[in-house]
Amino acid sequence: MMKTKAIKFRLSGDAACFRKPDVNAQVYFTYHNIHRIALLGLLGAILGLKGYRNHRLFDEQQSGYPQFYEKLTGLKVAIRPEAERGYFAKKIQYFNNSVGYASKETGGNLQVFEQWLERPAWTIYLAQGSAEPELWDQLTEYLSGGKCVYLPYLGKNEFPAVLEKVEFCELEPVQQDEPVFIHSLFTGELAEIDDTETEGDQLPFLFSERAPVALQPEHNFYVLQQCFYTNCMVIQVPGVLLRDGEKVLFFL
């Protein structure tokens, strides 16, 4: 069967905050893992593609999606957490924002509590998918050569991203007519997971979170799907599965 050419790398940092948009008062919470949209934004920064706010900063007309999403949404990505059971340690940070325009609080001082991931790390796989060949070639050149137009960061610009261990690889297709164990984040339904069967007869674990997988065109709101990371057997997966050695990967 035909193999898929891909590139993989380790993505890490001292801290990360992929802020959830559903809470916006005093306490800000983060998604537990980097999600597909944040990853595409990071890759867009490496390539110098425009983001959400370019039209405001440079008084440009924007219609539809931001440039990074429009250009990179055809990429197939797999995200494998380097954390036990898919969970990274978290910490609530407290700080004051006392610039005059930040708050109408008494004294003009906005007190903020923000949740951060501590020392997160993932193995990221990228396959070309329907992305333009020239863009794919540029992306692989920049990743393998350690180049970037803008510095990539993990959710906030005070959290620089570290990209290392970049490798080209060939991934084998996985037969999807039988249950499998998946070693990356994947989307699906809880009913598709059999928690009576685990890999290596280990104690079962299951990480689950509704996370962004796409953008809506008009206002660029997140499109959310249930994402899982588990050592339990997956009975049926509605998506693309590829194998890197013993690791079975789900591509978003």
CA distance 172 to 221: 34
Taking the model in full, what pTM does it have? Answer: 0.92
pLDDT at position 238 over 90: no
CA distance 84 to 205: 10
pLDDT at position 104 over 70: no
Mean pLDDT of 152-161: 96
| Domain residue ranges in the chain | 4-251
Would you tell me the crossing angle of helices 36-47 and 133-145 to the nearest 10 degrees? Answer: 80
DSSP 21: T
Q: What is the pLDDT of residue 58?
A: 55
Q: What is the pLDDT of residue 203?
A: 94
Mean pLDDT of 141-168: 97
CA distance 83 to 85: 6
Residues 6+ apart with CB under 8 A from 57: none
Q: What is the pLDDT of residue 96?
A: 76
pLDDT in tens, 4-16: 999 999 999 999 9
Q: What is the pLDDT of residue 218?
A: 84
CA distance 85 to 129: 29
Residues 6+ apart with CB under 8 A from 2: 173
Beta strands in 82-192, from DSSP E residues, in sequence order = 90-97, 110-118, 121-127, 162-173, 186-187
- Between the CA of residue 192 and those of 178, 189, 229, 238, what are the distances in Å? 12, 6, 13, 10
Q: What is the pLDDT of residue 2?
A: 87
Under a CB-based contact definition with an 8 Å cutoff, are residues 155 and 30 in contact?
A: yes
CA distance 159 to 116: 10
Mean pLDDT of 128-153: 96
Which one of 60-69, 105-114, 183-192 scores highest in mean pLDDT? 183-192
Which one of 24-33, 109-118, 129-138 scores highest in mean pLDDT? 129-138
Domain at 4-251, CATH from 3.30.420.40, 3.40.50.970, 3.30.70.2660, 3.40.30.10:
3.30.70.2660
Mean pLDDT of 142-159: 97
Q: What is the pLDDT of residue 22?
A: 83
The angle at the Cα of 252, spanning 241 to 133, to the nearest 5 degrees, equals 95
Mean pLDDT of 220-247: 94
Q: What is the pLDDT of residue 237?
A: 81
pLDDT in tens, 39-84: 999 999 999 999 886 655 555 666 689 999 999 999 999 999 999 8
Mean pLDDT of 194-212: 95
Structure tokens at 60: 């440009």
